[in-house]
């Protein structure tokens, strides 16, 4: 009996010893696992990328039955054969472009967050060359412009002057592409940032955009009669407000109306008290909404895009009775909350009012500048992704690409 009691006591003591030893080891490991995850977690001298942890979190949330928005993900699309052409003289983000026959006028934009362009580069599709460069007026905005053309004159509306997150201007200008001379136009009733802009039936229409603080959506809609590069009126006319406000939308003029596509509510704002207007993130909502303005100045709701899309104001062309739209940004990632770029090529059939996904870009890219010439779809500039497996924005580019476009009706 004494032997059994002694044996039981030894086993119990050994168990207590190993339990205390494990607790001691565990306490020495625990500090390497912080409760709030940093950008990089270090474990036993090995580095693990936090993005891998995020992927695990997504799988866990899906396994727990929680709803994850699919819009941050790429949509299935056929591959297109893209050919790299001559790059633009400078990289640019949030610029604008207008095509007039075989010439492509590329305006302004950011080079970096601290550097903005104040000139126009001109590309000739027929010989794949950048053939001209000239300055913009010093008072003209450097990014987030509204723009339209009648085939000779280019009307430049409002936008943001300067780098970082400065506010918008109300000043407007006209470029005569034959003489390369600039003239001013009546200012908008209020400054706007990246408004939807088009020339339709002899009137410039300016809609939505963001208000003076760069964040608050505007729903205002103004129009001005113009002809041959001149304003026929001294003041802008107040028109029917657009149903949903905000910047960074495509705006397409057709014979029977004006179509406004995508966009967002909210944007970066200047950090309060910052002398350089340093950007500060604010809540944004990207949406797929599509609206059409008819001859009676009434708005019609059209079928939405296949996914929410923004930063597409100069990312479209009209081909074969359809609108082709490329790239942009969609909703933030549901877990990381990071900006996600779009790499799809969309087609909106004007007869059937249906959307299709007809291809992919060579990489995801926002604020692409699109054109169509001699059967080829072109795009240049913007901000591309970090790689095939990382749709977050990284490098501002000036590359020019094209693909042969074959469309079904």
Determine contact, residues 192/146, Cβ cutoff 8 Å: yes
Residue 6 within a domain:
no
pLDDT tens track for 246-293? 999 999 999 999 999 999 999 999 999 999 999 998 999 999 999 999
CATH number of residue 257's parent domain? 2.120.10.80
Q: How many structural domains is the chain composed of?
A: 1
- The per-residue pLDDT for 334 is 84
Residue 62 has pLDDT above 80, yes or no: no
Residue-number span of the structural domain to which 237 is assigned: 91-318+366-377
Residue 328 within a domain:
no
Residue 201, phi then psi, degrees to nearest 5? 50, 45
- The per-residue pLDDT for 9 is 53
- CA 42, 44, 45: angle at the middle one, nearest 5? 65
Residue 385 within a domain:
no
Residue 156 within a domain:
yes
| Separation of alpha carbons 80 and 358, rounded Å | 9
- Copy the structure tokens of residue 200: 């339709």
Share of the chain above pLDDT 70, in %: 82
pLDDT tens track for 326-360? 999 999 988 888 899 999 999 999 999 999 999 99
Determine contact, residues 84/400, Cβ cutoff 8 Å: yes
pLDDT tens track for 263-275? 999 999 999 999 9
Span 371-388, average pLDDT: 97
- The per-residue pLDDT for 336 is 83
Contacts by residues 34-42 (CB-CB < 8 Å, ≥ 24 positions apart) = none
- The per-residue pLDDT for 150 is 98
Residue 14 has pLDDT above 90, yes or no: no
Share of the chain above pLDDT 90, in %: 79
- The per-residue pLDDT for 408 is 65
Determine contact, residues 91/108, Cβ cutoff 8 Å: no
Residue 65 within a domain:
no
> Position of tokens 């706007």?
192
Q: Which residues pair with 251 in a beta bridge?
A: 260
Residue 157 has pLDDT above 90, yes or no: yes
Residue 1 within a domain:
no
Residue 16 has pLDDT above 90, yes or no: no
Rounded to two decimals, the pTM is 0.83
Residue 409 within a domain:
no
Residue 58 within a domain:
no
């Amino acid at each position: 009996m004494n032997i059994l009691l002694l044996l039981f006591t030894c086993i119990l003591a050994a168990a207590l010893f190993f339990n205390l030893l494990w607790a001691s080891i565990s306490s020495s490991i625990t500090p390497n696992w912080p409760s709030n995850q940093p950008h990089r977690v270090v474990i036993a001298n090995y580095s693990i990328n936090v993005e891998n942890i995020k992927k695990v979190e997504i799988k866990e949330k899906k396994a727990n039955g929680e709803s994850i928005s699919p819009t941050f993900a790429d949509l299935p699309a056929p591959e297109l054969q893209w050919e790299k052409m001559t790059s633009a003289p400078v990289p640019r983000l949030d610029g604008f472009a207008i095509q007039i026959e075989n010439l492509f006028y590329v305006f302004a934009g950011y080079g970096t967050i601290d550097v903005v362009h104040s000139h126009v580069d001109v590309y000739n599709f027929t010989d794949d060359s950048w053939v001209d460069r000239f300055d913009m007026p010093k008072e003209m905005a450097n990014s987030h412009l509204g723009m339209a053309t009648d085939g000779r004159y280019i009307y430049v509306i409002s936008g943001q002057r300067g780098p970082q997150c400065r506010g918008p201007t109300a000043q407007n200008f006209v470029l005569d592409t034959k003489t390369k001379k600039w003239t001013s136009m009546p200012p908008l009733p209020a400054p706007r940032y990246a408004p939807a802009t088009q020339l339709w039936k002899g009137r410039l229409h300016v809609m939505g955009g963001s208000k003076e603080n760069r964040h608050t959506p505007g729903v205002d809609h103004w129009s001005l009669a113009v002809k041959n590069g001149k304003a026929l009126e001294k003041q802008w006319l107040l028109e029917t407000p657009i149903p949903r406000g905000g910047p960074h939308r495509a705006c397409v003029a057709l014979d029977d109306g004006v179509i406004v596509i995508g966009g967002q509510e909210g944007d970066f704002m200047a950090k309060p008290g910052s002398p350089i207007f340093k950007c500060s993130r604010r809540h944004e909502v990207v949406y797929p909404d599509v609206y059409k303005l008819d001859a009676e100045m009434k708005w019609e709701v059209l079928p939405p895009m296949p996914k929410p899309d923004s930063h597409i104001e100069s990312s479209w062309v009209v081909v074969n009775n359809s609108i082709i739209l490329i790239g942009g940004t969609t909703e933030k990632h549901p877990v990381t909350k990071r900006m996600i770029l779009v790499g799809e090529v969309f087609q909106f059939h004007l007869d059937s009012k249906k959307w299709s996904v007809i291809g992919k870009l060579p990489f995801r890219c926002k604020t692409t500048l699109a054109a169509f010439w001699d059967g080829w779809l072109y795009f240049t500039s913007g901000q591309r992704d970090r790689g095939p497996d990382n749709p977050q924005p990284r490098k501002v580019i000036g590359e020019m690409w094209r693909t042969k476009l074959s469309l079904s009706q």
